[in-house]
């Protein structure tokens, strides 16, 4: 589980052990209350491929409904490789935010 913290503009996570299925934990993270772009770099330093599963179920935190507009459900992170997870928080109004996720594999 990777807890999202949008306090800084970006976050780097090094995966060196653990299960092969990774999830992004937005509900327990620090989320913005206005439009924001955030970058998460995940490095797979293990000897196996990991799979990042993107959340799809909306949730409410501090009176704001966060909705996901993902285009993919799961993304592989090959052993010894990294991915960039670019997250855009787009507020429709004061109580509704759409979260758009774009993922790029490092070459």
Residue from 26, 29, 39 nearest 87 by CA:
39
As to burial, measured by CB atoms within 10 angstroms (0-12 exposed, 13-18 middle, 19+ buried), residue 53 is middle
* Rounded Cα gap, residues 42 and 25, in angstroms: 14
Task: Give the pLDDT confidence score for residue 5 in this predicted structure.
Answer: 93
Residue by residue, pLDDT tens for the chain (107 residues) are 899 999 999 999 999 998 899 999 999 999 999 999 999 999 999 999 999 999 999 999 999 999 999 767 789 999 999 999 999 999 999 999 999 999 988 76
Report yes or no: 42 and 83 within 8 Å, Cβ to Cβ: yes
CA atoms within 13 A on the CB side of 103: 18
Residue with tokens 């955030």: 38
* Overall residue count recorded for the chain in this entry: 107
Task: Give the pLDDT confidence score for residue 107 in this predicted structure.
Answer: 62
């Amino acid at each position: 589980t990777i807890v999202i913290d949008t306090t800084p503009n970006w976050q780097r996570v090094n995966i060196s052990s653990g299960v092969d299925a990774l999830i992004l934990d937005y509900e327990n993270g620090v989320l913005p209350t206005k439009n924001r772009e955030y970058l998460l770099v995940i490095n797979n330093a293990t000897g196996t491929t990991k799979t990042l599963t993107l959340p799809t179920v909306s949730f409410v935190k501090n009176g704001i409904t966060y909705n996901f507009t993902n285009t993919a459900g799961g993304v592989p992170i090959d052993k010894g490789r990294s991915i960039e997870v670019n997250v855009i928080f787009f507020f429709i109004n004061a109580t509704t935010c759409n979260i758009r996720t774009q993922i790029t594999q490092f070459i």
